[in-house]
Structure 1
Amino acid sequence: MKIPLGILLPENKANKQNIEKYLSKNSYIITVGDRTTEKMINFALTPSLQIIDNLEKRERRESPIQSNSTIELNVDNPPAEITSQSIDLIKKAFSMRPPVRINVTGEEDLLVLPVCIYAPKNAVVLYGQPNEGLVVVKITPEIKNKTQMLLDLMK
């Protein structure tokens, strides 16, 4: 995932005002990554779907805070893989009442791909690009096709 799927906001520009430019009033916000999830919660932009692994740059970290109404799900997803269980749980999460948090044992980075494939039309996916900034992906048919092709290449 070295090439961002969407718009890369450099770290110094990844503030609430710039992020909100990519959100509409009814955006279904999805975050992949602990730091990204924490950042959005701190901006009072609670993600509808949050995918975390309690790691940041492979270092253990505290779980981002969450509201009492957050539904928590758990899945195993080894580093550099996307398991069928992870895909099934992501699909299930989209049918649940938000906010939903998926706690990953292993690594969540590549789960951006199935998230983009199965996300609702009004979704905006946010994830970190290490040492560069925040990637903002508006879900479009083109993004769904591109991420499906990438996922197919991994099989």
Structure 2
Amino acid sequence: MSRDEHASESAAADADDQRLVLPDELRHELKGPMGPIETDADVLLEDVSGPLIAVGDVVTYHILQAGRHPDVALVDERTKRQTVDEEIREVVTDATHLEAENPPAEISADVVDALLEGLEREEPTTILVDGEEDLVALPAILAAPEGASVVYGQPDEGMVHVTVTDDVREDVRTLLEQFEGDATWLWAALDA
């Protein structure tokens, strides 16, 4: 094996170590909303007073249509495992600033790093995720400052608005500790 092949294999092993995988037995716990559900973005935005993180193409689209740019938006050009309409895709990816890989039903170090970079930026940042962005709402809740809003889609119901508090963070940490994989890298990245 050449040195380059060994380095590549080592990097792949590191990437595998730096991801969390949603176990099948935990899927039911994530089906319920973690906050109130709203169908009108204007009404939802009335309750947003701090930074806003939007997770999902349709959620981001509705927030943008209501005149607010999320501080961080994570999109993957899909909704309910189908490609989003061209209008939604164009609107939500118009100002893509970062890209990250995140396989379905996982949370990768790559997407967490992009999320943290987006939160540090002064200007609104859109992250285009190659894979799936659904579970990134969980590390977003841990990374966001107290009082921030994380908004994600609840299929066929509306937008879930989570106001970040210590209690919500504790609930999310408990959930993430049940994921498959070693979360040490995540806690280190989030200083949690």
Q: Which structure would you say has the larger Rg?
A: 2
1:94 Cα offset (Å): 1.1
One-letter code aligned to 1:65:
V
CA distance in 2, matches of 1:66, 1:128: 15
Report the equivalent of 2:52: 29
One-letter code aligned to 1:2:
K
TM-aligned CA distance change 1:122 to 1:79, over 3 Å:
same
Map 1:5-154; keep pairs closer than 5 Å: 5-9=34-38, 14-24=39-49, 27-61=50-84, 62=86, 63-65=89-91, 70=95, 72-154=97-179
Contact kept in structure 2, 1:71 and 1:99, CA below 8 Å = no
Q: Which moved more, 1:141-150 or 1:38-47?
A: 141-150
RMSD between aligned residues: 1.8
CA distance in 2, matches of 1:147, 1:74: 24
1:18 Cα offset (Å): 2.0
Q: Which runs of 5+ in 1 are unaligned?
A: none
With the length of structure 2 as denominator, give the TM-score of the two structures.
0.72
Deviations 1:80-101 (A, max 9, x none): 0001121122112111122001
Deviations 1:98-139 (A, max 9, x none): 200110000000000000000122311111100111100001
Higher helix share: 2
Contact kept in structure 1, 2:36 and 2:162, CA below 8 Å = yes
Deviations 1:24-43 (A, max 9, x none): 2xx21110000000000000
- Aligned length, in residue pairs: 148
One-letter code aligned to 1:41:
L
One-letter code aligned to 2:32:
I
Contact kept in structure 1, 2:105 and 2:132, CA below 8 Å = yes
With the length of structure 1 as denominator, give the TM-score of the two structures.
0.88
Q: Which runs of 5+ in 2 are unaligned?
A: 1-29, 182-192
What stretches of structure 1 move > 3 A for 4+ residues in a row?
Answer: none
TM-aligned CA distance change 1:17 to 1:96, over 3 Å:
closer
One-letter code aligned to 1:31:
A
